Amino acid sequence: MEPFIFARFHVREGNEAAAAAVLREQTQGVREELGCLAIQAYRSIRDRRLFYIHSRWTDEAAFEIHAELSRTARFVKQMETLIDHPFEATRARPLAQTCAESRACLPGSGRSRPADVHSIADVANLRNAAAACAAAP
């Protein structure tokens, strides 16, 4: 199953531009790594000192290779000098990845994963599926 990685970075006052530059550089390089399905850096709308990275990997082994790269170690050291808290990245998996796990499919769509939501109609179908799952024994 694909692991998802979430990292939160609250930077010290005055380090916002440096953090944004380091995050941009890191995400550009990581996109080229074997096993990286997606990576994106984000900045909070409400707190200009708060940044995030979200990435998706083919499997744990691919992320382990990434974690051991010198580029990754350098990135962690750079970010540790900019943030006001200990560095932490969280490995996660979706709560319900498939119909079998959630016990409900999107009605009539033939879709099996929430990642396939692309329209307002899909959102309505997903709500109906969630309600059906909640009502199931």
Note whether 48 and 84 are within 8 A (CB): no
In the chain, % of residues over pLDDT 90: 68
93 is written with which tokens? 């998996």
For residue 49, CA distances in Å to 16, 38, 88, 128 come to 6, 23, 16, 38
Give the mean pLDDT of 103-111: 49
Q: What digits encode the pLDDT tens for the residues 8-63?
A: 999 999 999 999 999 999 999 999 999 999 999 999 999 999 999 999 999 999 99
Structural domains of the chain, ranges and CATH numbers in brackets: 4-92 (3.30.70.100), 99-135 (no CATH)
The answer, yes or no, to whether residue 114 has pLDDT greater than 70, is: no
Note whether 12 and 44 are within 8 A (CB): no
Q: What's the pLDDT score for residue 117?
A: 43
Nearby residues of 40 by Cβ (< 8 Å), 6 or more positions away? 27, 53, 54, 55
